[in-house]
Amino acid sequence: MSLAVIAGLSFAAPLYAYCVGVDPFSSNVAGVVIRHGLQMDIMQPNNNPLHLGLTPIGPDFSKWSYMFGADSQGRDVAARLLYGGRSSLVIAACSTCVCLCFASVLGVCAGYFEGWVDQIVSRFLDILWAIPVYLFAISLSVVTVGHPLSLLGYKVGADSFLIPIVIIGFIYVPYAARPLRAQTLSVNKAEFVIAARGVGASHVRIICREIVPNVMPTLLVMAPLIAALCLLAESALSFLSLGVQAPAASWGTMIQDGEGLLYTRPFVAIAPGIAIVVTVLALNIIGDRLRDFFEMRGARG
């Protein structure tokens, strides 16, 4: 339920920005806002003895506009939180699809054909597994962000979501491929698979009709868990300025924006942090519920 609420609010971000009349992507350090009937500057003088520097206004839940306060650029934190959620959830969902597609092909082929195919795929997965996830992701991001790619004549710039989607989806392939390989090895020795081979069924038919339906529950259980890992990876890369690029927002970039305001306006960084925690927790709960459902169905069968 909480995941549906977060997703619904995030994808309603343009509606919120339109209703309150804010632009979450443009600097507004000279802007003003009406609070308690008074016109206030969005950037207020600091409370230090010399009153040097400016501090953005804090949260005020009595108004829809700037209800979570402003960041160091005078932008509405609530609007950026919703837009950031949309970016983070889209990248996590697409990365999960990329990861599970590659993992399914590699895991099922390795478990079904065994022999030299299994050896090659397993060694490839072992190499990826041995590389630290975030170090590998950061290395790939540095290369792709610094050098725009050209795919089939289409320029993929540093601000494209395609770059973090492919990178994050690729680095988590071993996490899904290895369980799928193990499940396929088990199903491959089942009597109905042996019977299908005995009547002369082709490899494609056996994989599509016998193997895939039996490994699908494992794939469905892993999907929300992989999505949670992808969300965390996206937030980490964006925090390091290697994922979503400014002025676009994601929960990771918002935490980076709020890093310098932790002592004065901590909610700028706390709000996206809470959103990440709640979303990851919801995805893990969904994964546990799916696992329990398939275990109960298997026990009844």
- Low-confidence spans in the chain with pLDDT less than 70: 1, 47-53, 145-159, 298-301
Q: What is the pLDDT at residue 26? A: 86
Pairing of strands 32-35, 38-41: antiparallel
14-32 core/surface letters (b: 16 or more CB in 10 A; e: else) = eebbeeeebebeeebeebe
DSSP state of 260: G
Q: Does domain 83-250 have CATH number 3.40.50.2000?
A: no
Q: Which residue ranges make up each domain of the chain?
A: 83-250
Radius of gyration of the chain (CA): 24
Q: Are 25 and 245 in contact (CB under 8 A)?
A: no
Inter-CA distances, 66 with 17, 29, 60, 261, Å:
10, 13, 7, 16
Residue type at 31 in one-letter notation? G
Read off the pTM.
0.90
Please give the structure tokens belonging to residue 105: 């092909």
Rounded to whole angstroms, the Cα distance separating 110 from 170 reads 18
- 139-155, pLDDT tens digit by residue? 777 777 666 666 556 66
| pLDDT tens track for 236-275 | 988 888 888 878 889 999 999 888 888 888 888 999 999 9
Can you say whether residue 223 is alpha, beta or left, with left for phi > 0 and alpha for psi between -120 and 50 degrees? alpha
* DSSP annotation of 115: H
Place of tokens 């965390």: 232
- C-beta of residue 251 within 8 angstroms of C-beta of residue 270: no
> Given this model, what pLDDT does residue 189 score?
86
